[in-house]
């Protein structure tokens, strides 16, 4: 018989869940089958949200099968955005979903790749930790995987949700599947639950939804020694109860554990859909977790999302816009900002290299706001600079993020301060005015192989500035991922020109925020505030940008005539 998780009041020193003096976290493993991009990350995040709604302390983890040590050096076209944690971890974008849904700050320990796991095992072998024994996938690699999983449950956490990247049947994920198979024996069957996400496709010519892909996927998973406890069936339309019974019969999963997740109007509905299907009830039954689920706060959020209908057009000027996942957190943060104003943000993806031509043709005049996101490398820089100038000259609300702040600085230096050839040391080492450059303390390290300011850093905000008003405070903490900084040698040139360094590091050395006096909203930050935005608590700068864009849209929107006030013919 399984034992329930006993919750204790938050903040009680030394308090843990479980038996006195001992804490044993429950573990949920989420795998995927049939095809990639089915939504394992959203499913895992939604389940985490539902378990938090039961008062449980939840953390999450992604196991990625690629051999890179982390995604930090991967091309955004290959992998999408690199998500940055509070402690400076460069991680998979699914961690962004996790944080947005469960509203917990994760760490670099929440992302483990094949590369990092093999790196740790080989380092141990070089140190002699294995005493000369032969190093093998089993037990050494699988033990390291299990160690990564176990350490997340050692800090008073009730539930650890671990998503295994890739698709069952891929050769790359076999060590991960073996590790999670062993894990149930290590920690006890009542402490582990396996959730498998699969696909029920609709075949047009026959007009039927087919369960065969799910059957094959479950068979493949079972061949690795893992019997799923619950199956989440992704589909375009809801599946029938008879199909659920068929899947249950063929997979040895109770009907209550066969859950349907049809396509939703917006991703924030998914926790409620899965709750209505009973996924969290079944998982809690398997794990022996007691307590009711209070979804009222999330229902209020979804209602707010559905009520956000006032259109506002925001252009995102980037280098990787052909793959929107490269700016996933930016897009979600803009939507969060819209929720706060009951506005529906309509995103327009603009290739930075095309901006100068679009400006010549006047094809950006319909935008209510502009975001210039981060990035690395020279490609598209002149287009980003042109977009910053267009926004400045035409009072278009504009938010620059990291590289976006840097190009705003360059644009102002060239076109207002008259610093011909102003640029960044990243793009033009021969520029006569490197208004963006490496700090002296960084220079020798970067030249020898690269370093970045990663993770959370504080900033002091100038009282009364737009930035301070947006945050509602004068000391803030935001996450960073960059090498180059505003060159302090040029700060005096910008002073008293309307260009305001409205946020600086506590020691006053680094410029963290800029803005323009008299402009509706022309704000840049060296940070990435998109990584801390939540659907029910939007990042302040995104909320402020959408608010300014709405004001611009309202001023440009034709007002409806009052029909009752019109003269009537013959009156």
Q: Which active-site residues does the annotation give?
A: 402, 528, 530
DSSP letter (8 states) at residue 110: G
**In terms of Cα–Cα distance, which of 38, 60, 61 is closest to 49?**
60
Nearest-angstrom CA–CA distance, 97 and 156: 22
Nearest-angstrom CA–CA distance, 288 and 272: 22
Q: Give, for 471, the enclosing helix (H) or strand (E).
A: helix 466-471
Nearest-angstrom CA–CA distance, 457 and 529: 11
C-beta neighbour count of 401 within 10 angstroms: 27
Q: Quick check: 458 and 505 in contact, CB under 8 A?
A: yes
Sequential DSSP letters for 506-558: TTS-SEEEEEETTSSSEEEESS-GGGG-BTTB--HHHHHHHHHHHHHHHHHSP
Nearest-angstrom CA–CA distance, 447 and 426: 12
Structural tokens at position 473: 């405070």
Sequential DSSP letters for 270-314: HHHHHHHHTHHHHHHHHHT-------HHHHHHHHHHHH--EEEEE
Q: Quick check: 80 and 326 in contact, CB under 8 A?
A: yes
**In terms of Cα–Cα distance, which of 191, 200, 206, 270 is closest to 237?**
200
Structural tokens at position 26: 């429950």
């Amino acid at each position: 018989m399984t034992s329930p998780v006993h919750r204790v009041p938050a903040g009680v020193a030394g308090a843990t869940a479980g038996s006195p003096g001992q804490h044993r976290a429950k573990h949920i493993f989420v795998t995927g089958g049939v095809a990639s991009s089915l939504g394992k990350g959203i499913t895992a995040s939604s389940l985490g949200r539902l378990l938090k709604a039961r008062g449980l302390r939840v953390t999450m983890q992604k196991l990625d099968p690629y051999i890179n040590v982390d995604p930090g050096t991967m091309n955004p076209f290959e992998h999408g955005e690199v998500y940055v944690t509070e402690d400076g971890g460069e991680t998979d974008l699914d961690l962004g979903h996790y944080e947005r849904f469960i509203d917990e700050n994760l760490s670099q320990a929440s992302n483990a790749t094949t590369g990092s796991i093999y790196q740790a095992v080989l380092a141990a072998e070089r140190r002699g930790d294995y005493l000369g024994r032969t190093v093998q996938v089993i037990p050494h690699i699988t033990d390291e995987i299990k160690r990564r999983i176990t350490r997340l449950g050692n800090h008073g956490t009730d539930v650890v949700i671990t998503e295994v990247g890739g698709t069952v049947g891929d050769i790359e994920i076999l060590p991960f599947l073996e590790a999670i198979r062993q894990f149930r024996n290590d920690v006890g069957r009542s402490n582990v639950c396996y959730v498998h996400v699969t696909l029920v496709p609709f075949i047009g010519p026959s007009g039927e939804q087919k369960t065969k892909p799910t059957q094959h996927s479950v068979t493949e998973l079972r061949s690795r020694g893992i019997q799923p406890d619950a199956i989440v069936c992704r589909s375009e339309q809801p599946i029938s109860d008879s199909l659920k019974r068929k899947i249950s019969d063929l997979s040895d999963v109770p009907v209550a554990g066969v859950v349907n997740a049809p396509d939703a109007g917006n991703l924030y509905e998914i926790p409620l859909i899965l709750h209505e299907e009973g996924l969290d009830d079944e998982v809690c039954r398997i794990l022996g977790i007691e307590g009711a689920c209070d979804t009222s706060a999330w229902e209020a959020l979804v209602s707010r999302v559905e009520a956000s209908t006032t259109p506002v057009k925001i252009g995102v000027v980037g280098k990787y816009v052909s793959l929107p996942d490269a700016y996933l957190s930016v897009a979600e943060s803009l939507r969060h900002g819209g929720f706060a104003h009951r506005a529906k943000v309509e995103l327009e993806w603009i290739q930075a290299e095309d901006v100068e031509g679009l400006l010549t043709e006047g094809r950006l005049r319909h935008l209510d706001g502009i975001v210039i996101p981060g990035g690395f490398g020279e490609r598209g820089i002149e287009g980003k600079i042109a977009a910053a100038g267009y926004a400045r000259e035409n009072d278009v609300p504009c938010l620059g993020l990291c590289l976006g702040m840097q190009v705003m600085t360059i644009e102002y230096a060239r076109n207002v301060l008259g610093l011909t050839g102003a640029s960044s040391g990243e793009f033009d080492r021969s520029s006569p005015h490197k208004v963006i450059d490496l700090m002296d303390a960084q220079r020798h390290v970067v030249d020898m192989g690269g370093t970045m300011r990663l993770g959370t850093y504080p900033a002091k905000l100038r009282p009364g500035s737009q930035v301070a008003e947006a945050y509602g405070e004068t000391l803030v903490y935001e996450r960073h991922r960059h090498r180059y900084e505003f060159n302090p040698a040029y700060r005096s040139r910008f002073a008293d020109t309307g260009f305001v360094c409205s946020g600086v590091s506590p020691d006053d050395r680094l410029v963290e925020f800029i803005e323009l006096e008299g402009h509706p909203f022309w704000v840049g930050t060296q940070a990435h505030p998109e990584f801390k935005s939540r659907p029910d608590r939007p990042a302040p700068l995104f909320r402020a940008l959408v608010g300014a864009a709405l004001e611009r849209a309202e001023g440009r929107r034709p007002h409806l005539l009052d029909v009752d006030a019109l003269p009537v013919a013959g009156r």
